[in-house]
Amino acid sequence: MNARLGCLLFGGFMVWGGCRPTSPASRKGEAELSARGQRLTTSLANVGMARTSALAKWILPREMGEISGLTLMSDGRLLGHGDETGRVYVIDPRRGAMLKRFSIGSAVDARADFEGITTMEGRIILVASDGMLYEFAEGEDGERVGFIVHDTRLGHECEFEGVAFDSARGFLVLPCKRVGARKLRDQLVLYRWQLGGSRDSILAPLTIPLRTVIGSNPWKGLHPSDITVDPATGNYVLIAAQEKALIEITPSGELVRAIPLPGKHGQAEALALTPDGILIVGDEATNRSAALTLYRWPPTASTPGPP
């Protein structure tokens, strides 16, 4: 990753002062990026550090105050987006630097209720809450790129929030925040969708009884706000902002863990997982600035709910 393209996101609990990602980093900034990367490596190697303690926290710029989704590129860069315009931000998550931003749409940013982002075989996918999928390629800094829209025709079945690509099985996984189908309202529902141009197809949804997922937790329901695939196990990992919940299930629907989200999070809307075991949680701005918080993964031993 080229640190010279980046501007530093503030660490700790400081308010982000703002800079353009196209501005060359100062010599001091280069040194700080290097130091941040080293501190993160040292923290990861510290086996005595509590697994629920934050490894790092990056304060996001004001324009990312409504961060709604995260995903990792194969080269380790992090993609994030807001929830109203098709603008994508590219971040170095290990050192807290904004690298660039680009948008989908030829004249103006595409507008929709965007709720999740993932990468799929070299392409990027944004999902809107009504199940519309926007497929496009990565753009250069400040560029507007064209896109293709896929209609899952599931908008009446579900309010979607989050999307992940299961590369081992070749389909997208889309969790329901609010289930429309009455017969599934007591279930955690994840739709599975295969993109194939004119041969797009839906597979049977993955469903798990809510009572199984909630177990002994005090949650009254479960409203997933993002999903990612663990690159080490292939399991699906979800967060729910409303319940402050962290869920892990297998692709066959077996519960691995259902626990409170570590740390203090006002509105945890976005999630990503690195191959070396870093959980990245993105919070929308509430009474504090939007932020990315990094934790170890997995955070605890497995804690399955009742059979």
Residue 6 confidence class, pLDDT cut points 50, 70, 90: low
DSSP assigned state of 24: P
Residue 83 pLDDT? 83
Mean pLDDT for 218-245 is 97
Please write the tens of the pLDDT for every residue from 55-82. 999 999 999 999 999 999 999 999 999 8
Measured CA to CA, the distance from residue 93 to residue 33 in angstroms comes to 11
pTM above 0.85, yes or no: yes
CATH number, domain 3-296, options 3.20.20, 1.10.1760, 2.120.10, 1.10.3470: 2.120.10
Whether residue 21 has pLDDT greater than 70: no
List the chain domain ranges: 3-296
Question: Which strands, in side-by-side order, build the sheet including 114-120?
Answer: 114-120, 123-128, 132-136, 148-151
Residue 181 pLDDT? 85
Please write the tens of the pLDDT for every residue from 67-124. 999 999 999 999 999 888 899 999 999 999 999 999 998 766 678 899 999 999 999 9
Name the residue type at position 136: F
Whether residue 3 has pLDDT greater than 80: no
Instruction: Tell me the CA distances in angstroms from 275 to 76, 218, 264, 287, one per residue in order.
Output: 9, 31, 24, 32
Among 147, 231, 248, 236, smallest CA distance to 191 is for 236
Residue 52 confidence class, pLDDT cut points 50, 70, 90: confident
End-to-end CA distance of the chain: 45
Please write the tens of the pLDDT for every residue from 155-174. 989 999 999 999 999 999 99
